[in-house]
Structure 1
Amino acid sequence: MLKLNSHPSGRHFLQIPGPTNVPDRILRAMDYPTIDHRGPEFQQLGRKILGQIGQIFQTVQPVVIYPASGTGAWEAALVNTLSPGDTVLMYETGHFASLWNKMAEKLGLKPEFIGDDWRSGVDADRVHARLLDDAGHQIKAVCVVHNETSTGVTSDIAAVRRAIDRAGHPALLLVDTISSLGSIDYRHDEWGVDVTVSGSQKGLMLPPGLSFNAVSQKAIAASRTARLPRAFWGWEEIIEANKNGFWPYTPATNLLYGLSEACDMLLEEGLQNVFARHKRHAEATRECVRAWGLEILCQNPDEYSDALTAVVMPRGADGERCNADALRKVILANFNMSLGQGLSKLSGWVFRIGHLGDFNDLTLMGTLAGVEMGMVLAGVPHLAGGVAAAMRSLQESALANKLD
């Protein structure tokens, strides 16, 4: 077993669902010397980034970039559009939806939380029914998570938009894409989203430290009358400064170098190719989990995430569920690989395999081999052959798409 004070050979496999591995191109871009954030060289960089980032969100509307985590972008979405005491409708898809709900409470909003079991996505019919009951339009916004990082469940955002429209309700639609942007197809404009929230450290392949609000004209109009306190988070000054390629404060210059490179990489590959690659790796992972005889946390195949897979631990010979954190510890100690832990009420009985970002077939096979070997060492009951099943899945898809 690896000693804690020894240096493991090879690279660390960071297979949590974010932060993800940062590719060399981005690391080298971030190595550039810091420049004057009021000068012409930075202005050129700012204009390039602001011209590209909308393509990643699939929007022609403004995208506001903050030096912050995704949590900051959550707060920005709420404080720019809402007033104290406003009712917001939120949906319990998992740990991160629950945290956004708690933030709304702390900000003096009145969130209504539609409860669910953390094994399925947003039920658009339940959203529609609640909005129909709101004849006085007290609900000012609907807040949902596109890809719930804690559960590996992806919700149908277009269906939520249709539910709002069918109810004839004026509520804004706010969507968290922190673990889906750049990994799973997401269409801010086409799906009628008013504020899209995201972060840099997952599908965008950057370190943590940048966050985003893509904003509709309806959201900008709402910001003019919203009364929640805001200063740093305010959109107006940032959007105005962005018109000339600048920010109204000192931006995270070196992270913006990295963002420029990340946009180049995603657009060079082509977004649809990026999404297809993630889907291919996700399907191979699920084939592997099924071959192990283990259960995928997400119960609806139509809602399977292409960014990560949450795996339910089996029960041992004593009838007790095996401990996921003990398995993760064995895998880290023996194979220098980090897997995502189960969060809050999933703690101890779920582990998460991240397969997003700068990721290819061999990375996936190494990841799944590490899990399978770890289960053997940890004495976790499973069937042999999961890695072989994933390999067959990858081979079949490669042959189907073979280039001449």
Structure 2
Amino acid sequence: MSLANGRHYLAIPGPSVIPDPVLQAMHRPAPNIYTGELVDLAHGLVPDLKKIAGTEHHVAMYIANGHGIWEAALTNMLSRGDTVLVCQTGVFGDGWGDVAQSLGATVHRLEFGKTDGLDPLKIEQALRADKDHCIKAVLVTHVDTATSLRNDIAAVRKAMDAAGHPALLAVDCVASMGCETFEMDAWGVDVAIAASQKGLMTPAGMGFIWMSDKAMKAGQSANMRTPYWDWTLRSAPEHLYEFFGGTPPTQHLYALRTAVDMLLEEGMDNVHARHAALAGAYWAAVDVWGQTGALKLNVEDPKLRSHAVTALRLNEPDGTRLRDWLTEHMGVTLGIPLGMADWDEDAWHGYFRIGHMGHLNAQMVLGVIGAIETAFVALDIPHSSGGVTAATAFLAKAAGKAVTPEAKSGGGCCA
């Protein structure tokens, strides 16, 4: 007898749960890619993707994962030898900088640690020191999926403006787009990137870049740009194949159309509020569990925590024991640590992550919380009981709060 039989819940920070309507939208024969329904569908996605990112500027779609979009963004912004300033708060900030370096850019890194957010003053100081304006772009991760840190993007723009520096502000939103409030135009972001498999609730394989007029102009002289990554045609195509530099990802486009419809029907303000409430339920449970034993959130300050993923630590090897037991006995899989060995090699097996992004609701979150508390008991991991009760009380209060009805229009993020 196994208690894990039934539908398994992959509670990792991406790929996220794919809604049934999205899966069903993909289940169709290959369409005509030259005229007709799919062509209209692709063009119709453009304004709606802009709504999700909070921009009136440009968007380009790619067949790529987040790592591919790192490269696409860099090659459109930079020429070989250009300098970028990388603001690092985890694995993915480091990774974007590594890609820039491998492409031939000069990379200056500001390391802010793995548990605290960016310090805008240090960014301002670094830009003021760049008297000749050699830095062409500032690279920031909105949410680092490994550390669960969420950075204040508007504060970064203020620091750049205070320094009077002309660099582009480029933001990795792979873990945050569709989960966290993101206001590209209001926050002064020049380039934002995302991928399909997290908050956008679509199978992995598509990537997106939103870019300002300033970024488009700067890209005209970028000599890193290659024909496939070039965002020029993709941002204003006449033909469907120009969106993708060749054959489009047909089934993915049907899936994305359905996922985007679901987001906009719910309303982006409501989507963001739902993610915040469900994240808060996890934090409420952890606050109780952690009163006894070693359990700790990687990010102590709630204002710096992601609403899409939570990184936690137990004593080694209890993190790995917990994950393995939940998969085998509860039908729940949590996320493995990423980059933790680089921070604390001896404690790698103490870390784990919970993904709470995309297509999820309160009963799914409460199920995971109940499963984790069950695992604590079964594995004799020290904790204070009552995490489930704390989470239910938090969600009961959250459910009683008014939700913005105007978000039903789907324009909440751009209002």
TM-score above 0.5, yes or no: yes
Distance 1:284 1:325 in 2: 23
State the match for 1:87 in structure 2.
Answer: 83
State the match for 2:328 in structure 1.
Answer: 333
- Given the superposition, is the C-alpha separation of residues 191 and 111 from structure 1 closer, same or farther in structure 2, using an over 3 Å criterion? same
**Structure 1 SS opposite 2:189:** coil
Q: 2:318 matched to 1:323?
A: yes
For residue 284 of structure 1, the aligned residue among 268, 275, 281 is 281
Compute the displacement of 1:377 (Å). Answer: 2.2
Name the amino acid aligned to 2:370: A
Q: How does 1:15-94 map to 2 (within 5 A)?
A: 15-94=11-90
Is the Cα contact below 8 Å between 1:174 and 1:195 reproduced in 2?
yes
State the match for 1:145 in structure 2.
Answer: 141
Name the amino acid aligned to 2:358: G
Q: Deviations over 1:142-194 (max 9, x none)?
A: 00000111111110000001110110001111100001000000011111111
For residue 249 of structure 2, the aligned residue among 249, 252, 255 is 252
**Structure 1 SS opposite 2:322:** helix
Name the amino acid aligned to 1:325: T
Distance 1:121 1:43 in 2: 42
- TM-score, structure 2 normalization: 0.91
State the match for 1:344 in structure 2.
Answer: 339
The range that moved more, 127-136 or 345-354, is 345-354
Fraction of identical pairs, as percent: 39
Distance 1:348 1:125 in 2: 35
Q: How does 1:155-166 map to 2 (within 5 A)?
A: 155-166=151-162
Q: How does 1:1-400 map to 2 (within 5 A)?
A: 8-241=4-237, 247=243, 248-293=245-290, 294-313=295-314, 315=315, 321-345=316-340, 347-400=348-401
Compute the displacement of 1:8 (Å). Answer: 4.9
**Structure 2 SS opposite 1:207:** coil
Distance 1:262 1:68 in 2: 18
The range that moved more, 372-381 or 178-187, is 372-381
- TM-score, structure 1 normalization: 0.93
Name the amino acid aligned to 1:228: M
Is the Cα contact below 8 Å between 1:322 and 1:380 reproduced in 2?
no
Name the amino acid aligned to 1:292: W
The alignment yields a C-alpha RMSD, in angstroms, of 1.8
Q: Deviations over 1:363-401 (max 9, x none)?
A: 000011111112222232111111111011011222344
The range that moved more, 367-376 or 253-262, is 367-376
Name the amino acid aligned to 1:333: E
**Structure 1 SS opposite 2:388:** helix
Is the Cα contact below 8 Å between 1:62 and 1:239 reproduced in 2?
yes
Aligned pairs, number: 393
Distance 2:349 2:141 in 1: 23
Compute the displacement of 1:242 (Å). Answer: 5.3
State the match for 1:318 in structure 2.
Answer: none
Name the amino acid aligned to 1:106: S
Structure 2 unaligned residues grouped into runs of 5+: 342-347, 405-415
**Structure 1 SS opposite 2:247:** coil
**Structure 2 SS opposite 1:147:** coil
Is the Cα contact below 8 Å between 1:47 and 1:245 reproduced in 2?
no
Distance 1:37 1:45 in 2: 11
Is the Cα contact below 8 Å between 2:4 and 2:327 reproduced in 1?
no
Name the amino acid aligned to 2:336: Q
- Given the superposition, is the C-alpha separation of residues 366 and 222 from structure 1 closer, same or farther in structure 2, using an over 3 Å criterion? same
